[in-house]
Amino acid sequence: MKRSIEKDLLAWKNKPDRKPLLIRGARQIGKTYIIEAFAKKHFESFVSVNFEEMKEAKKSFEDDLTPSLILRDLSTRLKQPIIPGKTVLFFDEIQACPNALLSLRFFKEQMPELHLIGAGSLLEFVMGDNRFSFPVGRVEYLYMRPMSFIEFLEAKGDQTAIEWLCEATPSKPVGGGTHASLMQSVKEYFIVGGMPEAISSFIQTQQFLGLDAIHQNLLNSYENDLGKYPKTSQQKFMRLLFEAAPRLVGDHFKYAKIQPHAQSRDYLESLDVLNRTGILHQVFANSAAGLPLEAQKKEKRFKLLFLDIGLLPQPIQSILDTEELVTINRGNLAEQFVGQEFVAYEKPYRRPSLYYWEREKQGSDAEVDFVIEVGSHIIPIEVKVGQKGRLRSLRQFMIEKESPLGVHISQASLSLKDQILSVPFYMIHEIPRLIEKYL
């Protein structure tokens, strides 16, 4: 299945000042698959070293971290030539060999012509551990996430629909039949999610049957990984947070919702680790008083999003039958979908930052689900709506902040009225283009 990160891998390949590359992201999102597919497409050879499966390979890094000696030893062990400029050398599960991580510095300094990529399901555990020496400044990163809705459409073979979406405007939205078909695909994505294994199963069978087992196995693998965190004192809190997170999506986060009498000090490290691994994303409250939004965020007030919508508890029939996705689970599934899309379309060399607006005036309950930066403007984006579908908070934000445009994401067709851009769920990837067009 094609992934958008491939173009970023190609840009890295062609950079004259290229550094060894680390692909960061949660387990089972397709890191190994896309690296191998990319290497075989653009290079003469691909050599993979999995340090969890090939324990003997660690011996190549025991005595001397001189790159030429490492390559000579690995080539002998693997019986494969490694030719700088023609070979991609892939260190998989690199965290299992700390010296391999350290060696990246010397590969950058002494053998920059070699295309070297590293990845690992537990890499973030190591990067947060002060006991490990890390080659800061000698490596570059790309963040990989679950497949986006557009990648899901592409995997289904809906390339024509994607091309139409790239050109659609409020005066020329997609036709009614295409709109209905795309909304059906959105409902499918709500259920299937963006994990490659689940998408592959759905495309092959055209059935939701069997997805529950796939999703549960993925959740089990993540939970098992938590038991490998170096600080055993944190493992309990990590598990409790991980187990609670799916039911907390979209709600204002309170530690007491994890466990009665829970204290923030017990969970801060766990929250940070699960954020770095990509299993959780925090959406921080923001006053939106100016740019950059990062400077206005409220660290202690946030909501949670989970890694993937498909891993959340799913009322499948309700999703398929509903005319309003925002009515499912009080709108929290819709909020997860939109937030997950924003994360998916963030530039892969940046860690995503998500914010929502809440009015600072005491006693006010005005809140907008997301706020984003577009050029010199702060744009409010509403997903969940209040009674009778009114956009009271969105309009209040636009008046207070003198915002030239607001966005409402729903099942309605693309339209623009009274400075509010109504965007269907299937066009989230086009929001920056549309905003820039109508600002």
Q: What is the pLDDT of residue 327?
A: 86
What is the layout of strands, in order, in the sheet containing 354-358?
Answer: 297-306, 280-286, 354-358, 367-368
- Cα-only R_g, the chain: 23
pLDDT in tens, 67-76: 999 999 999 9
Compute CA distances 371 → 158, 210, 392, whole Å.
30, 37, 15
Summarised one tens digit per residue, pLDDT across range 175-227 is: 999 999 999 999 999 999 999 999 999 999 999 999 999 999 999 999 999 99
What is the reported pLDDT for 135?
80
Range 19-36 average pLDDT? 96
Among 379, 382, 349, 347, which residue's Cα sits nearest to residue 366? 382
Whether 119 and 32 have beta carbons less than 8 Å apart is answered as yes
> What integer best gives the mean pLDDT of the chain?
94
- Tens digits of per-residue pLDDT, 358-406? 987 766 678 999 999 998 999 999 997 754 557 999 999 999 999 999 9
Tokens in use for 127?
A: 């990067």
Q: What are phi and psi of 377, to 5 degrees?
A: -115, 150
